[in-house]
Structure 1
Amino acid sequence: MRAEVAAEPPRRARASWRWLRLLLPLLLVLTLITSDPLARNPWSAVPENPGDPLLNAWVLAWDVRTLAAGARGLFDANIFYPHPGTLAYSEHLLGSALLVLPALWLTDNPVFAHNLLVLLSFVLTGLTAALLIRTLTGSATAASLGGLIYAFSTFRFAHIGHLHVLTGQWVPLALLFLHRFLRNARWREMAWLVFFSVFQFLSSGHHGLYLMVAAGWLLVFEAVGGRPHPWSLILRRGVLGLLACAAVLAPVAGAYVRAHQAAGLSRSLDEIKAFSADLQHFLATPKGNWLYGPWLKRLGEPAEWTLFPGLLPVGLAALGAISVLRPRARGTPPGPADRRVLLGYGSLALLGALLALGPVIQVGGSEIAPGPYTLLYHYVPGFAGLRVPSRFASVFILGLAVTAAFGARALTKGLQGPARATVVFLLGAGLLGEHFYAPIDRPPV
């Protein structure tokens, strides 16, 4: 008789999910406000400089056209003739193309499809991060605020012209189902984990690799955290899940390997070092940041080096650590699940920041120590092809959003009625205000 693991009841009592009915329109409205004036003219203008947006608009158009024709010769794009496999010279954006396929068919406007994806990325990133954080903290309010931190960060506004950097919205859902799978080892959770992991790789290979690191790090925490798991069943089904991911992604990965070998493409550590962050870049904002830009923009330009997380998220994360790790009233210890989650995601934030520094840790231009990114470069497939380690800051922001949500939960705990609404409003306004970046440049095309 085949052994099965019974589904464990949720760690926290199930609460109504009606909060999503409020969060989704809120994210949409905030996206339209913070992306002004792009949202008012998505047809014939692109965000920031036209280079990357127009390249990605062309990639989307090529993807949809080729998929509609049966996907034959998908990677042999009509660029850099006569070289083969030229779609693999950049991100292929297949997952994103599937999302806007109807829009491209109806409008035949790749610029509109590109801008629609940019706007959707803010809504979906905030929503999926909130779903993950709601599962981890049990608080819809904290989840909503954490979603704002992840979606409307300085890092994302600085990269509004880089579609493949914005479309990391499936990472939180993959992690959500990873947590669920570790709890009960059910096939359903594994299937969703595989689906969102594959879709993330197809949408953005950058974020797919970041997901690998985040999932591996959190798995280590679960393994050493002392919580009982059905590890033998998890291992067997997990291996099958990995094989399923590999089977789906192998043709895409093979296209990249063949194209790069044929063209002799490779990235040296010196090239990667040039696009790594300096510690001072975590204080840098874009010049368009209305609050800090006049003072902090000089610490890190261009977009790759504007990594300021905000003072309020950092303060909330510190409060979250205190509320979870400090013994509670009457000597009651903190909940082990809360402690494990906070330590896991807090350390993940630090890991993301450390990897963003690249192969050499620098402070003010001075090299002080080798960085762990070198290990990824040499020993983990895919990382030698990434040009910009500083984009690992997205992992830092996600870990920060989760830990800050614990602080928001502690701050709003026990508040009711107008007092609670006022505190939540002020927190939300503060989180958005620190990163407000409008109007966005939108050169016509």
Structure 2
Amino acid sequence: MTVRWSLADARRHLDCVRPWLLAFSTYTLLTIALTWPMLPRAASAVVRDTGDTLQQTYSLAWIWRAFTTDPFHLYDATIFYPQRFSLAFSESLLVPSLLAAPVQALTGNPILAYNVATLLAFPLTALAACALARALTGSWPAGLLAGLIYGFYPYRFDQLTQVQNVSSYWPPLTLWALLRFNTAPTWRWALVFWGTLVAGALTSLYSAAFTAVAAGLFQLWELLASRRLGGAAYLRLTIAGLGGLVVLAPFAYPYVVLSRSAAFHWSIEPMIGFSADLKDWLSAPPENWLYGRVTAPVRAGSLFTQHNLFPGLGALVLAGVGLVAGRPRALVWRFGLLAAVSAVMVHGPVLIAFGELTGIPLPYLLLHRLPVFSSIRVPSRFVVIAMLSLAVLAAFGLSAVLRWRAERVQRRTPLEQGLVPGRTVTSTWIALAAGAVIAAEYVSAPVRTIPVPVGTAVPAVYQWLARQPDQFAIVELPMWPTKGDAELGTTWYIYYATYHWKGLVNGRTTFYPPGYEQLVESAARFPADPAIVALRGTGARYLILHGDLYPPPERERLMALTPLREVARFGSDIVYDLDLTGRRQP
């Protein structure tokens, strides 16, 4: 078979690709501007704090290392030694790791790899929403506007420290595939739907769970209102779903195993603190140029960044127009219903109104009974689906405005057409003005960055560990508590592990292995014999004491009283031998 490729074919394909390249380029430039100075500092700094960022930097680097050295032990990360499947104590971030992998492979810089994955998430997320909205409205300006809203709304900048929360590119594609399946129930669209849902689960458990709720709501609408699909269509969807579960099973297995020994669920009480308050819809991040100061009184008392949900006035106005005048009406009402339901789900199990717990139960209580949702601590992240719905409604709104403008131009007399600018120019300016207003509402730059040592700037003790030829485990003191700000100290140990890859008894994740908190309590009594016995019980070969993290009197006491043999010293970092034969000679 001969394949002929003409210049006309090349031009035709280029014409199809060019708008997508322009859209991606536009969103990329917006990302650079709105996250400034994140890009120029990407190789040696993280955004805002060193908690989740350093923990997830480790996860992305470990996944690359596991894929290239021992992929069958992907979840057996080095943290929480000797715990099996330790990567599964938090989200595995497999898809973001693919974005980070080329950078990690070329540079060996885990901070740069993490920041690149985070920055790329913005244009990819916006482009996915653009694809959905353009398919629904048939309008490029409307699609671009939806991408702007969904990809860059203020809440997203509060999540810069968590790559999985800004990597929201799968929900629009999943819903788009489902809508296509409902109009053309082929194997292709059934597989695309489940493929994107599985990919979403390998990116963020939260996002996939909330997207599944949205998809279920859409199919309930389809079943009750349209009734276009027959038994054969649902059979295809079911078989494709079983295939998706087969693909997902190896990645879900470690979580299933750990759930038998660890408490992989949250009770109602802690979830309430991470649920949205009614006033949160009026709260913008403090860094936001337009609304940060204005909403400060509303924001007062909110301890977590999950509470700044204000979507911007421009998006709300256009979404209102879309709800009233958008076409086709069936799709508008479908996304309107999804926006309403997801806005309620954001508030979690019990309604909180302006700081007061009302005691009014909400539908999220039903979701909490399901296995996956009982592992979700932050219901307010349901705002991702609410904002996707709002972005699509705003796209319908802009499409309606442009349609009105086109109809008005068509009704002009020949004399009016000669005196007034034409439809294309006017429509372009309307779309640009709408985009400019919304982009101005979303500016939160400059973002705060924190320098992080990389390469040869990493503390000497970790460079020494990297030079040790065999594989063994270490434990680092102080062992920080698992709750409160103190746990952030552990993330530095985790990050530096990317330079030596020895087993690390310490760890910090969403959930903790059984017995870890008791080990932390025992380690706090070091150098008492029970503490040393507990630390030796982990199987670690060396104990690293970070003297600069203790008050001077306590540091001197620890060094004087410890019975362990000193192996190496690097400033205030001292390496002790935990081996039973490694007692210091009197």
Relative to the length of structure 2, the TM-score reads 0.69
* 8 Å Cα contact 1:225/1:340 also seen in 2: no
Q: Distance in 1 between matches of 2:239 and 2:255?
A: 24
In the TM superposition, what are the counterparts of 1:45-444 in structure 2 within 5 Å? 45-226=45-226, 229-300=228-299, 301=302, 302-324=304-326, 338-368=328-358, 369-378=360-369, 380-413=370-403, 414-415=405-406, 416-444=423-451
Q: Distance in 2 between matches of 1:19 and 1:412?
A: 19
Q: Distance in 2 between matches of 1:271 and 1:102?
A: 38
State the 1:16 CA deviation: 6.2
SS in 1 for 2:351: strand
More displaced stretch, 247-256 vs 344-353 = 247-256
Q: Distance in 1 between matches of 2:309 and 2:130?
A: 21
Q: Distance in 2 between matches of 1:169 and 1:377?
A: 25
Q: Distance in 2 between matches of 1:321 and 1:167?
A: 27
* 8 Å Cα contact 2:128/2:147 also seen in 1: yes
Q: Distance in 2 between matches of 1:322 and 1:184?
A: 28
Structure with the higher fraction of residues in helix conformation = 1
Deviations 1:85-113 (A, max 9, x none): 22111111112112322221111111111
Q: Distance in 2 between matches of 1:363 and 1:240?
A: 44
Task: For 1:389, give the aligned amino acid.
Answer: P
* 8 Å Cα contact 1:317/1:407 also seen in 2: yes
Task: For 1:263, give the aligned amino acid.
Answer: A
Deviations 1:142-199 (A, max 9, x none): 1110110000101111111111111110111111111111111111112222221111
Q: Distance in 1 between matches of 2:332 and 2:288?
A: 30
Give the structure 2 partner of residue 6 of structure 1. Answer: none
Deviations 1:239-265 (A, max 9, x none): 111111111112222211222332334
* 8 Å Cα contact 1:184/1:230 also seen in 2: no
Task: For 1:45, give the aligned amino acid.
Answer: A
State the 1:308 CA deviation: 0.5
State the 1:363 CA deviation: 0.7
Task: For 1:243, give the aligned amino acid.
Answer: L
Q: Distance in 1 between matches of 2:127 and 2:58?
A: 28
Deviations 1:360-414 (A, max 9, x none): 0111122331111111110x23110011111111111001001111111111223
More displaced stretch, 150-159 vs 361-370 = 361-370
Q: Distance in 2 between matches of 1:151 and 1:266?
A: 30
State the 1:359 CA deviation: 0.4
Task: For 2:449, give the aligned amino acid.
Answer: R
SS in 1 for 2:74: coil
* 8 Å Cα contact 1:288/1:437 also seen in 2: yes
Q: Distance in 2 between matches of 1:399 and 1:142?
A: 14
Deviations 1:276-313 (A, max 9, x none): 11010011111100001002134234311000011111
State the 1:81 CA deviation: 2.1
More displaced stretch, 346-355 vs 394-403 = 346-355
State the 1:17 CA deviation: 6.5
Task: For 2:95, give the aligned amino acid.
Answer: G
More displaced stretch, 305-314 vs 360-369 = 360-369
More displaced stretch, 384-393 vs 406-415 = 406-415
Q: Distance in 1 between matches of 2:126 and 2:285?
A: 21
Task: For 2:332, give the aligned amino acid.
Answer: L
* 8 Å Cα contact 2:28/2:123 also seen in 1: yes
* 8 Å Cα contact 2:97/2:117 also seen in 1: no
Q: Distance in 1 between matches of 2:442 and 2:293?
A: 13
State the 1:418 CA deviation: 2.9
Q: Larger Rg: 1 or 2?
A: 2
Task: For 1:354, give the aligned amino acid.
Answer: V
Structure with larger RCO (C-alpha < 8 A, sep 6+)? 1
Q: Distance in 1 between matches of 2:82 and 2:20?
A: 50
* 8 Å Cα contact 2:96/2:163 also seen in 1: no
RMSD of aligned residue pairs (Cα, Å): 1.6
Equivalent residues, number: 417
Q: Distance in 2 between matches of 1:212 and 1:264?
A: 23
Q: Distance in 2 between matches of 1:350 and 1:184?
A: 27
Q: Distance in 2 between matches of 1:159 and 1:297?
A: 19
| Cα separation, partners in 2 of 1:66 and 1:17, compared to 1, 3 Å | closer
Structure 1 unmatched ranges of 5 or more? 1-14, 325-334
Q: Distance in 2 between matches of 1:435 and 1:235?
A: 41
Task: For 1:311, give the aligned amino acid.
Answer: L
| Cα separation, partners in 2 of 1:311 and 1:75, compared to 1, 3 Å | same
Q: Distance in 1 between matches of 2:105 and 2:335?
A: 41
Q: Distance in 1 between matches of 2:16 and 2:333?
A: 27
Structure with the higher fraction of residues in strand conformation = 2
Q: Distance in 2 between matches of 1:182 and 1:25?
A: 32
Q: Distance in 1 between matches of 2:435 and 2:178?
A: 28
- State the identity %: 35
Relative to the length of structure 1, the TM-score reads 0.90
State the 1:434 CA deviation: 1.2
* 8 Å Cα contact 1:57/1:114 also seen in 2: yes
